[in-house]
Amino acid sequence: MPELPEVEVTRRRLEPLLIRRQIASLRTTGDSYFFLTKPATLRRGLLGRSIVGLSRRGKYLLAELDDGKRLMLHLGMTGQLFSQSATSVRLLSASQRSSLRPEEQLRFEPDKHTHICLSFEDGGPEVYFRDVRKFGKVRLLRRGQSDPRLDRLGLDALEAPAEALFQRTRKRKAAIKNLLLDQSVIAGVGNIYADEALFLAGVRPTRHASRLTRNSCEALMASLRSVLLRSIETGGSSISDFIAPDGADGDYQDERWVYARAGKPCLRCKTPIRRTTLSQRTSHFCPRCQR
């Protein structure tokens, strides 16, 4: 489940694999709602172009092309952007894994979930966008064109001042966890890091947003920031599908305090971690540390 840290790790490691390489061909799967821009249009727009910069806004990646167009990418739940040179058993299906001999070179072959294959004039490694559940998105933006999804985004979670969160929580009856997940409030936070930050700030996910004090908002934003930065440092969380563009797994999952630890003892006070559902999304918290 790629959130800000996974997207940022992807950005950092993908940029050098993409930059200033002229696109020679683009193979795609058939049209689906994954493609906000139809595959044929995408192909026309990308052929012969090269990417000159890769930036991130919330969970979106924006690749700037040498003709001023921009490619907007979202990893959704199971999206993976990686190089052909990436070797990771995570990229293999279960059957491929079981038949793999130890001495065999791990090698990914584009499959039905590999929606975009980019090859380059330099003949070097291809770059793939794979997404099993197709919750990801790709759209080609004309020069100067934006997308409502981007326009709606709030301040990036790494840059938003606590005061911004505090103001947005006023008069909001919804649970604070729901506000954290709302990309128009703070951009980039998903289920894992919302739970982690709430734990570190000692705030229960179900707490009404309007009941948070300015101090709580400051503690929450500070926790969020430290959790996100730490995760980027450790290469993100490889809990389900995430791999970095170079094939590396992230290590942040080993540092989790509460996420997906229901029933296990709180690492601070030993109280069993509880799990609850908020707006169809699971939340994990320590009933003792988080009031």
Partner DNA sequence: ATCTGTCCCTGGACGC
Partner DNA sequence: TGCGTCCAGGGACAGA
Q: Which residue has the tokens 């103001």?
A: 167
If one asks whether residue 172 binds DNA (CB under 7 A), the answer comes out as yes
- Least CB distance to DNA at residue 122 (A): 32
If one asks whether residue 88 binds DNA (CB under 7 A), the answer comes out as no
Tokens standing for 157? 């979670």
Among positions 62, 132, 164, 248, the unique one binding DNA when judged by CB under 7 A: 132
Tokens standing for 67? 């003709």
Q: Which stretch binds DNA (CB under 7 A): 37-45, 73-81, 156-164, 218-226?
A: 73-81
If one asks whether residue 143 binds DNA (CB under 7 A), the answer comes out as no
Tokens standing for 162? 């606590």
Taking residues 218 to 257 in sequence order and writing x for each that binds DNA by CB under 7 A, - otherwise, the string is ----------------------------------------
E-strand ranges in the chain read 23-28, 51-57, 60-65, 70-74, 79-83, 114-120, 127-131, 137-141, 155-156, 186-187, 274-278, 281-285
Tokens standing for 85? 């040179």
β-sheet bridge partners, residue 114: 130
Number of residues that bind DNA (CB under 7 A): 35
If one asks whether residue 181 binds DNA (CB under 7 A), the answer comes out as yes
Asked whether 267 and 284 are in contact (CB, 8 A), the reply is no
If one asks whether residue 74 binds DNA (CB under 7 A), the answer comes out as yes
Active-site residue identified among 13, 59, 70, 261? 59
Separation between Cα atoms, residue 16 and residue 52, nearest integer Å: 10
Separation between Cα atoms, residue 252 and residue 223, nearest integer Å: 15
| 59 is a catalytic site residue | yes
Q: How far is CA 172 from the centre of its chain?
A: 26
Complex with DNA: residue 113 or 225, whichever CB lies closer: 113
Complex with DNA: residue 23 or 186, whichever CB lies closer: 186
Residues from 196 through 215 that contact DNA (CB under 7 A) = 209
Phi-psi region of 171 (alpha: psi -120 to 50; beta: other; left: phi over 0): left
Nearest alpha carbon to residue 190 among 54, 36, 59, 45: 59
Among positions 24, 26, 77, 155, the unique one binding DNA when judged by CB under 7 A: 77
Complex with DNA: residue 77 or 248, whichever CB lies closer: 77
If one asks whether residue 282 binds DNA (CB under 7 A), the answer comes out as yes
If one asks whether residue 100 binds DNA (CB under 7 A), the answer comes out as no
Among positions 119, 135, 155, 276, the unique one binding DNA when judged by CB under 7 A: 135
If one asks whether residue 281 binds DNA (CB under 7 A), the answer comes out as yes
Among positions 117, 174, 229, 248, the unique one binding DNA when judged by CB under 7 A: 174
β-sheet bridge partners, residue 274: 285
Q: How many CB atoms lie within 10 A of CB 77?
A: 15
If one asks whether residue 33 binds DNA (CB under 7 A), the answer comes out as yes
β-sheet bridge partners, residue 276: 283
If one asks whether residue 171 binds DNA (CB under 7 A), the answer comes out as yes
Q: Which stretch binds DNA (CB under 7 A): 42-50, 64-72, 169-177, 245-253?
A: 169-177
Reported residue count of the chain is 291
* Residues engaged in binding DNA (CB under 7 A): 1, 3, 33, 58-59, 74, 76-78, 93-94, 113, 132-135, 149, 152, 171-175, 178, 181, 183, 190-192, 209, 260, 279-282
